């Protein structure tokens, strides 16, 4: 399937500048963008990954991770073979940084699969790699299927105008906040921090359900000052925004030792000084997965790696004291 890309401008001759993300790739005729998803073909920018997916999977929504958005539900998941950051520690580098086999999944076919496997809740997650490099495909699908809930699991690296056009069609997002250091983003991700922070603010302002993930890499992005800066940034937006502190393991180009459970526990302690909903992930234990009432401490949602038990009442409130929990519930 062919689709002209959105958000680019013509320079002299057939040279183009992609304006989807803050990298602003300059593409001569025949050149690919840094995300490997957009190509200059004779002065027209084409979305070369349109409808090409690395696969389909039916997941628990907690796997995204989304803990406060229809807990216990199932969601169809898929993603493209591309990314607009080049993180040295990428945990999915085989499908984000390298060429991988794909299959064509038209918007019409995707809608049929969602109806078949998610009949109780029509919802789809664009995830696994970087869905924002699938911009046209997601936007086309969302416009054609407004009854389907759209979830994005993303690095948040996109320019303000395309994000503003997409947000009205998005129900929930998990944004990966990789650090609170510009130098970390520059050296380890080949990107910049501030656009991600601005897009997190924009999602909150737009009323999209938002959760954040932080992959903790010991010795690289876990300095106490950085953890406190991240905590304070989130708390200023909304202290109830869920934060998932995820354990890293050596992969791709990164050889730093794996995150230990005690590293996660220590970071969670810092974050919980100001934040209500902080979780630990990618761990062999379920110690940091439950949701507690911010007022009385009652367990509202119990989670293990394979099961979710929701004790909230119908409108998402604590059954003991009636305090409303942050999130979207059936």
- 76/123 Cα distance (integer angstroms): 7
N- to C-terminal Cα separation, the chain: 36
Q: Please state the rounded mean pLDDT for residues 304-321.
A: 93
Average pLDDT, the chain: 96
DSSP-derived secondary structure for 196-257: HHHHHHHHHHHT-EEEEEEEE-TTTS--HHHHHHHHHHHHHH-TTS-EEEEE---BTTB-SP
- 122/108 Cα distance (integer angstroms): 14
pLDDT tens, position by position, 108-134: 999 999 999 998 899 999 999 999 999
Confidence of residue 161 (pLDDT cuts 50, 70, 90): very high
Q: Which two tokens stand for residue 125?
A: 């997650």
Q: What is the pLDDT of residue 315?
A: 84
pLDDT tens, position by position, 183-223: 999 999 999 999 999 999 999 999 999 999 999 999 999 99
Confidence of residue 305 (pLDDT cuts 50, 70, 90): confident
Q: What is the pLDDT of residue 74?
A: 96
Q: Please state the rounded mean pLDDT for residues 52-67.
A: 96
Minimum mean pLDDT range among 97-101, 238-242, 311-315: 311-315
DSSP-derived secondary structure for 44-91: EEEETTTTEES-EEEEEGGGTT-SSBSTT-EEEEE--S--S---TT-T
Q: Are 282 and 245 in contact (CB under 8 A)?
A: no
Structural domains in the chain, CATH included, are 8-47 (no CATH), 52-289 (3.20.20.70)
What are the φ and ψ backbone dihedral angles of 264, each rounded to 5 degrees?
A: -65, -45
Q: Find tokens 């949602």 and name the residue.
A: 301
Q: Using N-to-C axis directions, what is the helix angle for 107-117 and 135-144, rounded to 10°? A: 60
Q: What is the pLDDT of residue 285?
A: 86
Q: What is the pLDDT of residue 314?
A: 83
CA distances from residue 43 to 15, 46, 159, 212, 237 in whole angstroms, order as listed: 6, 9, 22, 38, 42
Q: Which two tokens stand for residue 291?
A: 């949701």
What proportion of the chain, given as a percentage, has pLDDT over 90?
A: 95
What are the φ and ψ backbone dihedral angles of 153, each rounded to 5 degrees?
A: -110, 110
Q: What is the pLDDT of residue 1?
A: 85
Q: What is the pLDDT of residue 284?
A: 87
Q: What is the pLDDT of residue 43?
A: 96
Q: Which two tokens stand for residue 200?
A: 């997190």
Q: What is the pLDDT of residue 119?
A: 87
pTM for this predicted structure: 0.97
Q: What is the pLDDT of residue 330?
A: 75
Q: Please state the rounded mean pLDDT for residues 57-68.
A: 97
């Amino acid at each position: 399937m062919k689709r002209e890309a959105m958000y680019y401008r013509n320079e002299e001759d057939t040279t183009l500048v992609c304006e989807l993300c803050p990298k602003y790739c300059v593409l001569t005729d025949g050149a690919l963008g840094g995300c490997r998803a957009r190509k200059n073909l004779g002065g027209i920018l084409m979305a070369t990954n349109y409808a090409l997916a690395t696969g389909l999977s039916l997941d628990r929504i907690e796997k995204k991770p989304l803990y406060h958005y229809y807990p216990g539900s199932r969601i169809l998941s898929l993603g493209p073979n591309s990314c607009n950051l080049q993180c040295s520690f990428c945990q999915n580098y085989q499908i984000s940084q390298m060429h991988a086999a794909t299959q064509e999944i038209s918007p019409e076919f995707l809608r049929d699969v969602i109806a078949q496997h998610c009949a109780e809740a029509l919802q789809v997650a664009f995830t696994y790699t970087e869905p924002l490099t699938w911009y046209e495909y997601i936007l086309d699908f969302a416009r054609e299927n407004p009854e389907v809930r759209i979830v994005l699991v993303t690095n948040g690296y996109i320019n303000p105008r395309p994000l503003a056009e997409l947000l009205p069609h998005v129900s929930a997002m998990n944004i990966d906040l990789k650090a609170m250091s510009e130098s970390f983003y520059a050296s380890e991700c080949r990107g910049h921090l501030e656009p991600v922070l601005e897009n997190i603010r924009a999602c909150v302002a737009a009323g999209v359900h938002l959760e954040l993930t932080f992959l903790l890499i010991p010795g690289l992005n876990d300095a106490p000052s950085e953890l406190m800066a991240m905590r304070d940034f989130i708390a200023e937006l909304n202290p109830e925004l869920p934060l998932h502190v995820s354990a890293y393991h050596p992969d791709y180009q990164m050889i730093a030792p794996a995150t230990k459970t005690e590293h996660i526990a220590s970071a969670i302690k810092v974050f919980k000084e100001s934040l209500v909903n902080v979780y630990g992930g990618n761990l062999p234990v379920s110690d940091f997965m439950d949701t507690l009432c911010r007022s009385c401490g009652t367990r509202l949602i119990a989670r293990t790696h394979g099961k979710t038990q929701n004790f909230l009442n119908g409108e998402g409130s604590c059954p003991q004291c009636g305090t409303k929990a942050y999130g979207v519930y059936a």
